[in-house]
């Protein structure tokens, strides 16, 4: 199970997670990591698109702790239905939702963690973070780090059988 932050503009309009620019990056990262998107359940920690209008554009606004907590029920229901072998939090909002507290990505990235119910959990960056990196070399380096995280997680899951 991959958990993102919240729907973006494209996702909100399509009614499906990760179909916009961040979704395209996620698809490429999954492919390079040897993971088929059809093999993972993809969702978001917050179910609504929080935004502000700038002219005709709807610009993303980060969800607050209250919104993350209010939407946790939905994520928990998805976990009950899907029963994932492992959950990957894509970004700080997803990590906050899964662990119930603020998580510093750089401190736990690459580590196999365990949720309160015993489910394996991992934390990595959200693909949308790559879209905000101006320097092409840095963006590529961070993309490859995301791919490496996904490969490590996939290898860990295959080892568990």
CATH of the domain at 84: 3.40.470.10
Listed in sequence order, the residues at least 6 apart from 19 whose beta carbon sits closer than 8 Å to its beta carbon are 10, 11
> How many structural domains are present in the chain?
1
Q: What is the pLDDT of residue 9?
A: 85
Give the structural domain span for 89. Answer: 2-160
Q: Give this prediction's pTM.
A: 0.92
> What's the average model confidence in pLDDT over 18-29?
96
Pairing label, strands 86-90, 2-4: parallel
Q: What is the mean pLDDT of the chain?
A: 93
Question: Which residues on neighbouring strands pair with residue 86, listed in sequence order?
Answer: 120
Listed in sequence order, the residues at least 6 apart from 3 whose beta carbon sits closer than 8 Å to its beta carbon are 43, 44, 45, 75, 87, 88, 89, 90, 94, 97, 98
Q: What is the pLDDT of residue 49?
A: 80
């Amino acid at each position: 199970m991959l958990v993102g932050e919240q729907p973006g503009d494209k996702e909100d309009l399509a009614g499906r997670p990760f179909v916009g620019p961040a979704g395209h990056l996620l698809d490429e990262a999954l492919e390079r990591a040897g993971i088929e998107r059809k093999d993972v359940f993809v969702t978001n920690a917050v179910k609504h698109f929080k935004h502000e209008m700038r002219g005709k554009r709807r610009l993303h606004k980060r969800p607050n702790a209250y919104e993350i907590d209010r939407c946790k029920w939905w994520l928990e229901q998805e976990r009950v239905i899907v029963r994932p072998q492992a959950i990957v939090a894509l970004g700080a909002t997803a990590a906050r939702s899964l662990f119930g507290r603020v998580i510093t990505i750089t401190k736990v990235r690459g580590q196999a963690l365990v949720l309160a119910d015993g489910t394996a959990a991992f934390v990595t960056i959200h693909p949308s973070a790559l879209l905000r990196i101006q320097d092409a070399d840095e963006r590529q380096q961070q993309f490859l780090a995301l791919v490496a995280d996904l490969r490590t997680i996939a290898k860990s899951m295959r080892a568990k059988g």
